[in-house]
Amino acid sequence: MLVEGTSDQVALETLAERRDVSLVAEGIEIVPIGGAQAIGRFLAHFGPLGIPLAGLYDAAEAREFSNALGDDLEQRGFFACDPDLEGELIRALGTAGVEAVAEANGDLNAFRTLQKQPAWRGEPVEEQLRRFLGSGGSRKIRYARLLVETLDPDSAPEPLDRVLGHALSAGRG
């Protein structure tokens, strides 16, 4: 699976763990490509090897992925997170659920501080949470795991569920 970044990788690995799926046993590797602009380079590397590919990308990066893969991304096993992984996880858990995870991990005060900043006052809580989760690479990666661990594994965001299902069926096919 090709994913834009490490947080996507961690979220998918955690979802697989929660579902008792061994990615190693299934022959599935998740490769963070370092951003959407790199998809062409990774397709050029892996495509000739005949390896079945799948992946996740942020909705805003659909053009990069379409340019590299063609128009029917889902048919090829590539699924969009709308607007991104954090947005999908916030929707799946709800804002109260995400705030509960932040509180349990000692970060709720930091989130409340962000909410008080002039640029973020009055913005929807979902957007405030996306900004909070996305600020700093380590927080984004840490919360990818924490939020997926909190989810019911059978109620994962659709793009995560679908890309994992696609990779599993390609590996078994």
Structure confidence at residue 170 (pLDDT): 87
DSSP class per residue in 131-160: HHHHSSHHHHHHHHHHHHHHS-GGG--HHH
What value does the mean pLDDT take over residues 85-105? 98
Omega cis (within 30) before 83: yes
- Distances from the Cα of 71 to the Cα of 65, 97, 113, 156, angstroms: 9, 35, 42, 25
Instruction: Give the predicted TM-score (pTM) of the model.
Output: 0.95
Q: How confident is the model at residue 90, as a pLDDT?
A: 98
pLDDT at 136 over 90: no
Give the pLDDT band of residue 137 (cuts 50, 70, 90). low
3-state secondary structure (DSSP) of residue 32: strand
